[in-house]
Structure 1
Amino acid sequence: MKVGQRKTTGRFLRHAVEMVVAMLVGVELLAPAWEWAGQRPDVVALVTATDMTVAMALWMRYRGHPWPRVVEMGAAMFLPYLVLLVPHWLGVLDGEHVLTGGHVLMLPAMVAAMLVHREEYTRPHGESDAHPLVKEVGRRGPTWIALAMTFDQWTEPLVPWPVALLVLPGAYLVFGMAKGHLRDRRVLAAQLAGLVAYAVLAVVASNADPRMAAWLVAAGWGLHAVWDVVHHRLDRVVPRWWAEWCAVVDFVVAATILSVWL
């Protein structure tokens, strides 16, 4: 495969992955707003398609796609469900197969819509001239992903295993080595000091009573959220998207632990 072909294929796949991620985030964050709608399969199917379409449309506008492409992709979200709902309403297909089949058929429907306008999805895209609010929502992509990934933590708070604290400074060391920032001895010393501090905290928490362990673990995650914000502002050691994503995850974990143990 030639270099030019690899670039266009990579852009096509990137667009597809970005839209799938946006759809998943939309389902996770918007679904609770529809709890009043009940659990009827046809209602759930249409609600799911709506949640996916809203998030996907926002992301596509942020990335500079014109409205006709946004509408086409929205149709690709709804069409599989609408096709399967007809036999469901006729009593031929049960609700579970409608929901499963809609999810399965949605991906090829998306790919088909992309292939029809492949030139649109293989060229570089940046921020569009969309509404400022859409731009701001798009720039906060890591935040929305983090909130979606930790949504269940609010309803069913869990105290992570104390040893998991080591993952927090460990990720910074991995990114720091990859980006070459650890060549600066002061940066390396700061990151290693953080690793040692969290190792001590993990040992103490592992040997403490449950309540004290919860407090220590919450403190570790909460303090790391501050660490993330500092590195996000400095744009050092880790990518800014990682610092933003990690700060939100760390804050949610710390806050939800404290909500149970306070």
Structure 2
Amino acid sequence: MENTRMYADSATAVPSPTPLPTDDPAPPGAAPASSRRRLLWHLGEMALAMVAGMLLLGPLWELAGTALGVGESLARPEVAALVMATNMTVGMTVAMRYRAHRWHAVGEMAAAMYVPFLLLFVPFRVGLIDADALLLGGHLLMIPAMVLVALRHRHQPSAPVRRHRVVVALAHRWPAVLALLLTVDMWVDPSVLSPWTMLVLPGGYLVIGMARRTLGGRGVLAAQLVGLAVWVALTVGAVLAGGRTADWLVAFGWLAHAGWDVAHHRNRRVVPRSYAEFCVVLDVALAAVMVLAILTTDA
């Protein structure tokens, strides 16, 4: 779909300039590479928005179900499927409207969330499939449905839209917002992560650095290996110590890695800045959750 780029300090929509014709047009019947990239980018955004909707709204449904005494009803497979579709639709709607897609396109994409589950209710109710097949099948059918809707509207002009500066600022900080959404469920039931999770912290930088070929600078690889050694030592120490000492070491390890993220965000080396921003917020939030769990748990 065609998107409209907005200036942050403007009260009205400002469309992107019309692209100039190229000297090397795409072959007849083939979509231009830029069009395919926009389509894939749009589908990727939809997937992230759907995940964000589930992460943010899922715990709220659980709290509401417990408070209202309808937790068992919400756990029924048919209801759980519709709740999940609703959570994904909310996230998708916010993302599509921010990108200036028109309401009828949003409505069709919402139908792509619900219709697959509704179609599978019949075989589920007559006993041909179980609850796991209902949820898995609904998600699998959802993928081609989303692609069809995206293809149908890929050339549609964007709708005029007005965005508040706060909304634009939040959109620009999407890595931080996504990181906070990932920790929503943990704040409801705080716990301490396994010491082995600390190995993910330096490992992620090494894997991304090798994939992006950004470990070749002077001292870059050495710094990453030193970081790996430090967090391996913390992990081994926590495993050997056990108990409350291990909990504090794990919380400290995640919090210390936030400083590592800040350094990489500032020097723009090894990983993209968006990844470093995501990691620093996630690391601090998880460390805070673990400290809360330690302080609220009896020794």
TM-score grouping bracket, smaller chain normalisation: 0.7 to 0.9
Which consecutive unaligned segments of at least 5 residues does structure 2 have? 1-25
Specify the alignment match of 1:107 in structure 2.
143
Counterparts of 2:109 and 2:37 in 1: how far apart (Å)?
19
Q: Distance in 1 between matches of 2:110 and 2:55?
A: 18
Residue 252 and residue 131 in structure 1: after superposition, are their counterparts in 2 closer, same or farther (change >3 A)?
same
Among candidates 65, 69, 91, match of residue 55 of structure 1: 91
The residue number in structure 2 matching 1:202 is 235
CA distance in 1, matches of 2:41, 2:141: 20
Give the letter aligned to residue 54 of structure 2: V
Q: In 1, distance between residues paired with 2:285 and 2:204?
A: 18
Q: Secondary structure at the match of 1:183?
A: coil
Structure 1 unaligned residues grouped into runs of 5+: none
| TM value normalised by structure 2 | 0.67
Higher helix share: 1
- Percent identity, aligned pairs only? 45
Q: What's 1:30 paired with?
A: 57
**In 2, distance between residues paired with 1:226 and 1:148?**
21
Q: 1:61 to 1:229 in 2, by over 3 A?
A: farther
**Cα drift, residue 5 of structure 1:** 3.9
- TM-score calculated relative to the size of structure 1: 0.75
Q: CA deviation at 1:67?
A: 3.5
Residues 59 and 138, structure 1, Cα contact 8 Å, conserved in 2 = no
Task: Specify the code of the residue in structure 1 equivalent to 2:252.
Answer: A
Q: Distance between the aligned counterparts of 2:135 and 2:198, measured in 1?
A: 38
Partner of 1:160: 194
Aligned residue number for residue 245 of structure 1: 278
What is the aligned partner in structure 2 of residue 72 from structure 1?
A: 108
- Counterpart in 2 of 1:8? 35
Q: 1:199 to 1:42 in 2, by over 3 A?
A: closer
2:4 corresponds in structure 1 to none
What's the CA shift for 1:191? 4.1
Amino acid at match of 2:243: P
- The aligned amino acid for 2:55 is E
Aligned residues: CA RMSD = 3.6
Residues 203-239 of structure 1: CA deviation (Å, up to 9, x unaligned): 3333323221221121011111233234334544321
Note if contact 2:262-2:280 (Cα within 8 Å) is conserved in structure 1.
yes
SS in 2 for 1:119: coil
Deviation per CA, 1:114-169, whole angstroms, max 9, x where unpaired? 1212335xx9x9xx75444443443333234434544554436243234x434323
> Is the CA contact 1:165–1:202 (under 8 Å) kept in the aligned structure 2?
yes
Aligned residue runs from structure 1 range 181-220, under 5 A: 183-185=217-219, 190-220=223-253
Contact 2:59 2:184 in 1 (8 A): no
* Cα distance change of structure 1 residues 165 and 43 upon mapping to structure 2, 3 Å threshold: closer
CA contact (8 A) 2:195 2:238 kept: no
Change (3 A) 1:216 1:29: same
Judging changes above 3 Å, is the alpha-carbon distance between structure 1 residues 166 and 102 closer, same or farther for their aligned structure 2 residues? Answer: closer
Give CA-to-partner distance per residue, 1:179-220, whole Å, 9 cap, x none. Answer: 6475244x5665454334333333333332322122112101
Q: Distance in 2 between matches of 1:102 and 1:175?
A: 33
How many angstroms apart in 2 are the aligned matches of 1:150 and 1:82? 31
Bigger mean CA offset, 208-217 vs 32-41: 32-41
In 2, the alpha carbon distance for the partners of 1:71 and 1:258 equals: 43
1:48–1:173 Cα change, 3 Å: closer
